[in-house]
Amino acid sequence: MLVQFFQRTHDSLLLLGKSKEAEIKRINKELANIRSKFKGDKALDGYSKKKYVCKLLFIFLLGHDIDFGHMEAVNLLSSNRYTEKQIGYLFISVLVNSNSELIRLINNAIKNDLASRNPTFMGLALHCIASVGSREMAEAFAGEIPKVLVAGDTMDSVKQSAALCLLRLYRTSPDLVPMGDWTSRVVHLLNDQHLGVVTAATSLITTLAQKNPEEFKTSVSLAVSRLSRIVTSASTDLQDYTYYFVPAPWLSVKLLRLLQCYPPPEDPAVRGRLTECLETILNKAQEPPKSKKVQHSNAKNAVLFEAISLIIHHDSEPNLLVRACNQLGQFLQHRETNLRYLALESMCTLASSEFSHEAVKTHIETVINALKTERDVSVRQRAVDLLYAMCDRSNAPQIVAEMLSYLETADYSIREEIVLKVAILAEKYAVDYTWYVDTILNLIRIAGDYVSEEVWYRVIQIVINRDDVQGYAAKTVFEALQAPACHENLVKVGGYILGEFGNLIAGDPRSSPLIQFNLLHSKFHLCSVPTRALLLSTYIKFVNLFPEVKPTIQDVLRSDSQLRNADVELQQRAVEYLRLSTVASTDILATVLEEMPPFPERESSILAKLKKKKGPSTVTDLEDTKRERSVDVNGGPEPAPASTSAMSTPSPSADLLGLGAAPPAPAGPPPSSGGGGLLVDVFSDSASVVAPLAPGSEDNFARFVCKNNGVLFENQLLQIGLKSEFRQNLGRMFIFYGNKTSTQFLNFTPTLICSDDLQPNLNLQTKPVDPTVEGGAQVQQVVNIECVSDFTEAPVLNIQFRYGGTFQNVSVQLPITLNKFFQPTEMASQDFFQRWKQLSNPQQEVQNIFKAKHPMDTEVTKAKIIGFGSALLEEVDPNPANFVGAGIIHTKTTQIGCLLRLEPNLQAQMYRLTLRTSKEAVSQRLCELLSAQF
């Protein structure tokens, strides 16, 4: 009957062919029929109910939505007939989402079946839990299933299901699965006679052991002896569990995985037995196959690869590691693509072991060949990965050359990754930096589109940091730029390098200043805006380097296409540079446009990018080795921060400085933020100008409104911490300056600055600190604070010092805010509303309605109001969702009573904040400060 219906449906679908509409029509007719049966007066018998539920399921699996029948399916669960129950459970496993009403009914049926002692019904119930695995089910059954699992009279097939059902619940809700007596009994299932039970239990134990290694430690010796019995058995011993002459391959794999949760066994007997197992597995790989079927070799090799994973995981037996490597080496030339792929993949991890690194390297020619001949891109990808992993100083030139030549034809999908790898290897193993520069320029030539910013920033950093390569770099980029069509990335690198070091090749008449300029400018009009902006900076650098081309460059800057460029950035640069070149004296030009100082040493941003692309695990090894070797990569002059040159416009981007770390505030305004007038200010006396506020300091400032201690500012050099206390109108603040470098700060001068408006209202007193801050040291400064009258602005803390010969200038807002002088006031509801009414003058009330910027959490809100300084008054507002507070602001001259009310609207994710105080400015300021906190 059922089959007939399906046949009809299916046939009609086939007949109707492309007509989606006809299909839908046919389905809708059937759905209407089923709906009428379910709604009909006559109660349906179990068989009919099953039939219709099954039809619904079929229609759903054809891809149509089903919005009824759930109740009928749940009814089927309580049937005593297997077929009806099975369809009911299937419908629920496939279609039910956590609909709370139904879940209760479903759980009830499951409970009955679990208690039924009928293994078939128990199995159905367990499979349903394992499929749905919801939290509600975990709550209901996580306590019960362990009992089923370890009970003496439970059937084997039920044990299998129970073990995996428990595993599913542990995965979704580990907190609900209580560890207990059952855990030790579960471990002993590894000894069970029934290999199916062992197979299921091993999965459960592996997952539990990953999270609770101590508790499941005894599983190691049991797993080893089980494995030993399997690998030494004759191919017929295990009967049902022998697959194409391989004894229990899946169970062997699982046991070997379980062992990878642990270090090598400590007990020498266990350890010896395990080593024997692993040797046996390796030996079997050398034996002639017992069957020509691919199933035989696959099953055998599944075990072999897992054994190799364990050997690599232990990384303690040189003999086994080298044997594994040799075995994989054979696979590298196997006719099965799968095996070549897996061997490359597995060798990648072997390459990072000190015991097998050399053995892996012997296969370099085969791997390079794979790069050239494999048809499957994923195999070539693995070959690239392996070359990268086996690369060291001895073979770097060969590997980099091969990767570069592969890049010419590589699939687009993996080009960027190869570019990153080449860039990293070239830098890491560069003995000769001319080789490095050549390699990167080749990269740009071959795959310019795939050379990301990180790569070309890095080559510039390295050239700037190493004076022995600067002349070569200038010469090489100059030659590369001669090509009629060169990639824009090359123009960027070329522009930057010639701007810095063009003078080193200017003596050669073939690359005279004018020729250099004309060469660069011939590319100008083909480039995008950011590159043109960079080139303009190169030009102004040329004005300084080569006075003889100044008129030519001025003409270019003066042309309409520059001075009136539609792009604001380009126009501004042209205007400023032109003015700079006319106004400034040679000395000032030389100072402003001096060569870039070396970049501080830090992790390569290219490596960071590769990690991001590939996930952390794949590149960790490299990172570690990179750390030790970084010394000889970028050794040289004492590192100094980059943006300290007064006008460092050609800096490609602040990103160069580091990942996420905010650069120290530049001493001069960047060209986009200041007009010509400001520039002149900078030139007249650059050291005495207060730096603009450090980026991010606004955020930190807001964080201190409701708290008194923490880190106020941090960059690569300096950390500023605060600790403060306030009482009435007085306060004391401890400022801690930490030198994060290993070099002294000299002339270290923090200054507190109050604006003219602030000065009469806030008194700050402090003593100067020692002008020398040793590397790694912290100095402390105490500020005594007196609030004379209410105030709005915050004082600014400016810090100036010299570091490694460069001038540093940092400014941050000091979080001394009006609310710090709050004294909380407790009052009853009646008093509160009386005072509230008294402050009803429109100037006294300030209200702000704003969107929540943080999750609306009651406890957090309460903590913030208390941190703000006012009392939090409970049971005052008739609406318990609202918050009210009261307090007095103490100043030397007066005291100001303040009331506040905060009304959250969860639905709209909005707040309304109302402040009432006797002084308008105070209401205003407190409202601003507090609004920013939610």
| Residues in binding site | 37, 47, 51-55
Work out whether 257 is an interface residue with another protein (CB under 8 A). yes
- Are the C-beta atoms of residues 520 and 480 closer than 8 Å to each other? no
Part in contact with another protein (CB under 8 A); list of ranges 163-171, 265-273, 680-688, 846-854: 163-171
Work out whether 86 is an interface residue with another protein (CB under 8 A). yes
Work out whether 360 is an interface residue with another protein (CB under 8 A). no
Work out whether 251 is an interface residue with another protein (CB under 8 A). yes
Work out whether 78 is an interface residue with another protein (CB under 8 A). no
Q: Is the dihedral of CA 8, 10, 15, 19 positive or negative?
A: positive
DSSP H helices in 96-218: 100-114, 119-132, 135-141, 145-150, 156-172, 182-187, 195-211
One of 248, 480, 520, 735 touching another protein (CB under 8 A): 248
Work out whether 207 is an interface residue with another protein (CB under 8 A). yes
- Provide the mask over 597-636, with x wherever binding to another protein is found by CB under 8 A and - wherever it is not: ------------------x---------------------
* Residue 152 CB, nearest approach to another protein (Å): 21
Q: How many helices (H) and strands (E) does the chain have?
A: 40, 16
Work out whether 255 is an interface residue with another protein (CB under 8 A). no
Eight-class DSSP state of 631: H
Work out whether 798 is an interface residue with another protein (CB under 8 A). no
The token duo for 399 is 């590997």
Residues 810-869 that bind another protein (CB under 8 A): none
Burial 874-906 (b: 16+ CB within 10 A, else e): eebbeeeeebbbbbbbbbeeeebbbbbbbbbee
- Are the C-beta atoms of residues 306 and 294 closer than 8 Å to each other? no
Q: Residue 152 to residues 110, 186, 219, 252, 742: CA-CA distances in angstroms?
A: 21, 12, 20, 26, 67
* Residue 168 CB, nearest approach to another protein (Å): 4
- Are the C-beta atoms of residues 251 and 198 closer than 8 Å to each other? yes
One of 301, 352, 761, 825 touching another protein (CB under 8 A): 301
Work out whether 245 is an interface residue with another protein (CB under 8 A). no
Show Cβ contacts of residue 871 under 8 Å, excluding neighbours closer than 6 positions. 824, 825, 826, 827, 885, 886, 887
Part in contact with another protein (CB under 8 A); list of ranges 50-58, 587-595, 662-670, 826-834: 50-58
Q: Which residue, 145 or 915, has its beta carbon nearer to another protein?
A: 145
SS (H, E, C) 50-98: HHHHHHHHHHHHCCCCCCCCHHHHHHHHCCCCHHHHHHHHHHHHHHCCC
Part in contact with another protein (CB under 8 A); list of ranges 334-342, 544-552, 818-826, 915-923: 334-342
Element (DSSP H or E) covering residue 823:
strand 822-824
* 223 closest CA partner among 196, 167, 194, 262: 262
One of 243, 734, 833, 836 touching another protein (CB under 8 A): 243
Show Cβ contacts of residue 151 under 8 Å, excluding neighbours closer than 6 positions. none
Q: How many residues bind another protein (CB under 8 A)?
A: 63
Residues 428, 768: Cα–Cα separation, whole Å: 46
Work out whether 305 is an interface residue with another protein (CB under 8 A). yes
Part in contact with another protein (CB under 8 A); list of ranges 125-133, 179-187, 594-602, 804-812: 125-133
* Residue 686 CB, nearest approach to another protein (Å): 45
Work out whether 7 is an interface residue with another protein (CB under 8 A). yes
Q: Which residue, 259 or 575, has its beta carbon nearer to another protein?
A: 259
DSSP H helices in 811-932: 829-838, 858-868, 920-931
Residues 450-509 that bind another protein (CB under 8 A): none
* Residue 371 CB, nearest approach to another protein (Å): 16
Largest CA distance in the chain: 105
Part in contact with another protein (CB under 8 A); list of ranges 19-27, 198-206, 913-921, 925-933: 198-206
One of 220, 253, 383, 504 touching another protein (CB under 8 A): 253
One of 75, 154, 161, 817 touching another protein (CB under 8 A): 161
- Provide the mask over 9-28, with x wherever binding to another protein is found by CB under 8 A and - wherever it is not: -x------------------
* 77 closest CA partner among 103, 42, 97: 103
Q: Which residue, 141 or 577, has its beta carbon nearer to another protein?
A: 141
Burial 728-743 (b: 16+ CB within 10 A, else e): ebebebebebbbebeb
Residues 127, 133: Cα–Cα separation, whole Å: 10
Q: Which residues bind another protein (CB under 8 A)?
A: 3, 6-7, 10, 54, 57-58, 61, 81-83, 86-87, 90, 93-94, 120, 127, 130-131, 133, 157, 160-161, 164-165, 167-168, 171, 195-196, 199-200, 203, 207, 210, 239-241, 243, 248-251, 253-254, 257, 295, 298-299, 301-302, 305-306, 337-338, 341-342, 375-376, 378-379, 615
